Chains A and B, each alone.
Chain A
Amino acid sequence: MTGRRELVFLVFVVVILLGGIAFDVMSSDVAEQTSIAAEGERFESRAVFCPPASGKAKANTYFTVASGTGEDTVVGTSSGVDEPADLAADQIQSFHSERSDALDIVGFGSTVVASGISARRDPSGAGAAQCASEASERWYFAAGSSSIDVTEKILIYNPFPDEAVVSLGAITPRGELSRTALRDLAVPAKEWRTIVFSDVVQVKNTIAVEVETRRGRVVAWRETTAFGKRVTKGIEFDLGAPAPEMQWYFPDGAVGEGAEETISLLNPGEQEAVVSVILATPEETLTPPDLVEFVVPPRTQRVISVGDYTGKKKSELMSVSVIVTSLNGQPVIAERVVSLDTEDLSGRSSELGATETSPAWFLGPAARAPSADAVVVMAPGSEDVTVDLTILSENGSLLAPAELQGLQITAGSRIKVAIGEWTRGEMMGVIVSSDQDVVAERFSYSEGAADISALMGQPIKMLP
Chain B
Amino acid sequence: MASTAQSTQTRPQPANGEPSVLAVVVTHAEREWLTECLVSLATQTYSTLDVLVVDDASGDHRGPPSLKRVVKRHLRKRRWGYLRTPRPLGFGGAINWALSRVRTDADLLLFIHDDAALTPESVEKMVARIGADPDTAIVGPKIMNWDNEHILEEVGMAADRFGYPYKGLDEGEIDSGQHDRASEVFFVTSTCMLVKHGVFRQLRGWDARMRAFSEDLDLCWRARIAGHSVRFEPEAKARHAIALATGKRTSPYVPTRYFIRRNRLRAVTKNASAIRLLGLIPLFVLLSIAEMIGFIVIRQPREIWNLVKALGWNAARLPQTLAERRRVQHKRRVPDSTINRYTVRLSTRIRSYLGNQTHRIEEAWGRRAELLSQRGHEARAFGQRMKGWPIALTVLAVVGFLIGFRHILWAEQASVGELLPFPEGGAGMWKAYISPWNHAGLGGPGPNPPAFAILGFIPMLTFGAASAAQKVMILGLGGVAAWGAYRLVYELVDPPARWVSAATYGFGAVGYAGLREGRLGAMFFAAAAPFVLAAMIRLIGWARPPEWRRNQSIALIALGGAVSAAFVPGSLLLYVIAAVMLLIPKLILDHKGETFRPLLQCFLGLLIAWALLLPWSTSWFGDGGALNALFGDDTWRGYANTFRDDGMASTLLGQTPDGPALFGLAMPLLGIIAVAVADGARRKMALALWTVVVAMGWIVDLISAGILRPFVPSPTEVGVLAALAFAGLAGIAVGAFRLDLSRRELSWKHAASIGALALSGFLIAAGMGPALWHGEWNAGETAGGVGPEVVAQVSSLLDAEAQQTGPFRALWIGSGWSSREPTGARPGGDSFLTGAREPQLQDLFTPQSDADGTLDVVIASIEEGATDRGGELLGAFNVNFVIIEDGPRAGGWLAQRDLALIRTEDDYFVLRNQVELPRVGVYSELPVYVRALEEGDPRLSAGAEVQKTALSTSGPNGYRGRVAGEGMVFLAASEEGGWKATADDLALDRVPGGWGNAFALEEGPSETQVVEVTYPRSIVALFVLLITILAWIATVGAAVSRKRRKIRGTIA
Which residues of A are in contact with B by a Cβ distance under 8 Å?
A: 2, 5-6, 9-10, 13, 16-17, 20-21, 23-25, 27-33, 36-47, 73-74, 76, 78, 84, 104, 106, 108-109, 134-135, 159-162, 189, 215-217
Chain A min CB distance to B852 (Å): 10
Residue of B588, B637, B638, B701 touching A24 (CB-CB under 8 A) = B701
Known contacts A20-B697, A43-B873: A33-B638 contact under CB 8 Å:
yes
**A40:B854 contact, CB within 8 angstroms:** yes
A160 and B900: CB pair below 8 A?
Answer: yes
11 A-B pairs with CB atoms under 8 Å apart are A5-B589, A16-B694, A30-B705, A38-B859, A40-B857, A42-B867, A44-B861, A45-B869, A109-B938, A160-B901, A189-B900
In the bound complex, do residue A215 and residue B904 qualify as a contact, i.e. CB atoms below 8 Å apart?
yes
- Nearest chain A residue, comparing its CB with the CB of B856: A38
Whether the Cβ atoms of B705 and A23 lie closer than 8 Å is yes
Additional pairs, 4, CB under 8 Å, beyond known A45-B942, A108-B942: A20-B647, A21-B648, A24-B649, A44-B867
Give A108 to B941 CA distance when docked, in angstroms. 8
Given contacts A13-B690, A21-B652, contact A161 B914 (CB under 8 A): yes
CA gap between A234 and B865 in the complex, in Å: 37
Are A76 and B942 in contact (CB-based, < 8 A)? yes
A24 touches B641 (CB 8 A): no
Let me know if B900 and A108 touch, CB within 8 A.
no
Provide the residues of chain A in CB contact with B904, threshold 8 Å: 215
With A29-B704, A39-B857 already in contact, the answer to whether A24 and B901 are too (CB < 8 A) is no
Complex Cα spacing A78 to B857, Å: 23
Q: Which residues of A contact B914 (CB under 8 A)?
A: 161
In the complex, which residues 811-869 of chain B have their Cβ closer than 8 Å to any Cβ of chain A? Answer: 853-854, 856-861, 864-869
A161 touches B942 (CB 8 A): no
Known A-B contacts A5-B589, A20-B694, A36-B634; A30 and B706 likewise in contact (beta carbons under 8 Å): yes
Chain B: which residue is nearest A39 at the CB level?
A: B853
Are A2 and B897 in contact, with the CB atoms below 8 A? Answer: no
A161 touches B866 (CB 8 A): no
Q: Mark B874-910, 1 if CB is under 8 A from A, else 0.
A: 0000000000000000000011011111101000000
- Assuming the contacts A40-B857, A104-B897, asked whether A5 and B588 have C-beta atoms less than 8 A apart, the reply is yes
Chain A CB within 8 A of B738 CB: no
Assess the A6–B684 pair: CB atoms within 8 A: yes
The answer to whether residues A30 and B704 also contact, given A43-B866, A45-B867, A106-B869 and a CB cut-off of 8 A, is yes
Question: A39 CA to B854 CA in the complex, in Å?
Answer: 8
Q: How far does the Cβ of B4 sit from chain A's closest Cβ, in whole Å?
A: 58
CB neighbours (8 Å) of B438 from chain A are: none
B residues within 8 A CB of A38?
Answer: 853, 856-857, 859-860
Contact A17 B861 (CB under 8 A): no
**Minimum Cβ distance to chain A for residue B827 (Å):** 10
A109 to B932, CA, bound (A): 11
Does B161 lie at the interface of the complex (its beta carbon under 8 Å from any beta carbon of A)?
no
Give chain B residues whose Cβ lies under 8 Å from the Cβ of A189.
900
Query: Which residues on the B side are within 8 Å of A33 (C-beta)?
Result: 634, 637-638, 640-641
- Asked if B589 and A31 make an inter-chain contact with CB atoms under 8 angstroms apart, the answer reads no
List chain A residues, Cβ under 8 A from B902.
162
A24 — which chain B residues lie within 8 A by C-beta?
A: 647-649, 701, 704
On whether A108 and B641 interact (CB within 8 A), knowing A16-B698, A45-B867, A134-B895, the answer reads no
- Give Cα A41–Cα B589 distance, bound, in whole angstroms: 64
Please give the number of chain B residues whose Cβ is less than 8 angstroms from any Cβ of chain A in the complex: 65
Contacts of A134 in B (CB 8 A): 895
A30–B861 CB distance below 8 A = no
Once bound together, how far apart are the Cα atoms of A39 and B899, in whole Å? 24
**Contact assessment for A17 and B694 in the assembled complex, using a CB-CB cutoff below 8 Å:** yes
Q: Tell me the smallest distance from the CB of B875 to a CB of chain A, in Å.
A: 13
CB distance from A87 to the nearest CB of B (A): 11
B585 contacts the other chain (CB 8 A): yes
Q: How far is the CB of A461 from chain B (nearest CB, A)?
A: 14
Looking across the interface, which residue of chain A has its beta carbon closest to that of B891? A134
How many angstroms between the C-alpha atoms of A215 and B901 in the bound complex? 9
Q: Please name the residue on chain A nearest to B914 by beta carbon.
A: A161
CB-contact partner of A74 in B590, B698, B868, B939, under 8 A: B939
Residue of B nearest to A46 (CB): B868
Query: Which listed residue, B697, B898, B933, touches A17 by the CB 8 Å rule?
Result: B697
Contact assessment for B637 and A42 in the assembled complex, using a CB-CB cutoff below 8 Å: no
Let me know if B866 and A217 touch, CB within 8 A: no
Q: Does B519 contact A (CB under 8 A)?
A: no
CA distance A134 to B865 in the complex (A): 10
Which chain B positions have C-beta within 8 A of A162? 900-902
Q: Decide: A43 near B895, CB < 8 A? Known: A29-B705, A162-B901.
A: no
Query: In the complex the two chains form, is A2's CB within 8 Å of B705's CB?
Result: no
Q: Is the CB of A43 within 8 A of B861?
A: yes
Contact B853 A9 (CB under 8 A): no
- Distance of B694 from chain A, by nearest CB (Å): 5
Q: A6-B684, A13-B691, A216-B901 in contact; A37/B939 too (CB < 8 A)?
A: no
Within the assembled complex, what's the spacing in Å between the Cα atoms of A395 and B914? 36
Q: How far is the CA of A74 from the CA of B943 in the complex (A)?
A: 11
Q: In the complex, what residue of chain B is closest to A22 when comparing beta carbons? A: B648
B687, B854, B937: the one contacting A109 at CB < 8 Å is B937
Rounded to whole angstroms, the CA-CA distance of A162 and B910 in the bound complex is 12
User: Contact: A30 with B873, CB < 8 Å?
Assistant: no
| B644 contacts partner chain A, Cβ-Cβ < 8 Å | yes
B718 within 8 A of A: no
Please tell me if B936 contacts chain A, counting CB pairs below 8 Å.
Answer: yes
Interface string of B658-702 (1 = CB under 8 A from A): 000000000000000001000000011001001100100110010
In the complex the two chains form, is B859's CB within 8 Å of A6's CB?
A: no
B687 x A161 contact (CB < 8 A): no
Q: Nearest-CB distance from B682 to chain A (Å)? A: 12
- List chain A residues, Cβ under 8 A from B652: 17, 21
**Minimal beta-carbon separation of A359 from chain B (angstroms):** 22
Q: Which residues of B contact A32 (CB under 8 A)?
A: 637, 641, 644
Residue of A nearest to B904 (CB): A215
Find B648's partner among A2, A17, A76, A159 (CB 8 Å cutoff).
A17
A40 to B939, CA, bound (A): 15
Q: Report how far A84 CA is from B859 CA in the complex, Å.
A: 25
Q: What 4 A-B pairs have minimum CB-CB distances, sorted nearest first?
A: A20-B648, A30-B706, A24-B647, A33-B637
Residues on A with C-beta less than 8 A from B588 are 5, 9
Complex Cα–Cα for A6 and B897 (A):
73
Is B854's CB under 8 angstroms from A161's CB?
Answer: no
In the complex formed, the residue of B with least CB distance to A8 is B588
B701 near A106: Cβ-Cβ < 8 Å: no
A74 CA / B643 CA spacing, docked (Å)? 48
Pairwise interchain contact B866-A46, C-beta atoms closer than 8 A: yes
Q: A2-B589, A30-B637, A30-B644 are in contact. Are A47 and B868 (CB under 8 A)?
A: yes
Distance from A334 Cβ to chain B, minimum over Cβ atoms (Å): 25
Q: Chain B nearest CB: distance from A281 CB in Å? A: 40
Task: Specify which of A25, A30, A74 is in contact with B942 (CB 8 Å cutoff).
Answer: A74
Residues of A within 8 A of B939 (CB): 45, 73-74, 84, 108-109
Measured CB to CB, the closest approach of chain A to B698, in angstroms, equals: 5
Beta-carbon nearest neighbor of B896 in chain A: A160
Interface centre among A25, A36, A159 (most CB of B within 10 A): A36
Query: How far apart are the CA atoms of A33 and B588 in the complex, in Å?
Result: 42
Q: CB within 8 Å of A: which of B525-567?
A: none
A28 to B647, CA, bound (A): 11
Closest Cβ neighbor of B647 among chain A residues: A24
The distance in angstroms between the C-alpha atoms of A9 and B854, with both chains bound, is 56
CA distance A152 to B90 in the complex (A): 111
Residues on the A chain within 8 Å of B859, using CB: 38
CB distance from A168 to the nearest CB of B (A): 21
**Are A37 and B897 neighbours in the complex by a CB distance under 8 Å?**
no
B905-923: which have CB < 8 Å to A?
Answer: 912, 914
Q: With A and B bound together, what is the CA distance between A31 and B704 in angstroms?
A: 9
Q: A36-B634, A40-B853, A46-B866 are in contact. Are A106 and B690 (CB under 8 A)?
A: no
Nearest CB of B to A7, in Å: 10
Complexed CA–CA distance, A46 and B938 (Å): 10
In the bound complex, do residue A21 and residue B649 qualify as a contact, i.e. CB atoms below 8 Å apart?
yes
The answer, among A5, A27, A43, A215, for a CB contact under 8 Å with B932, is A43
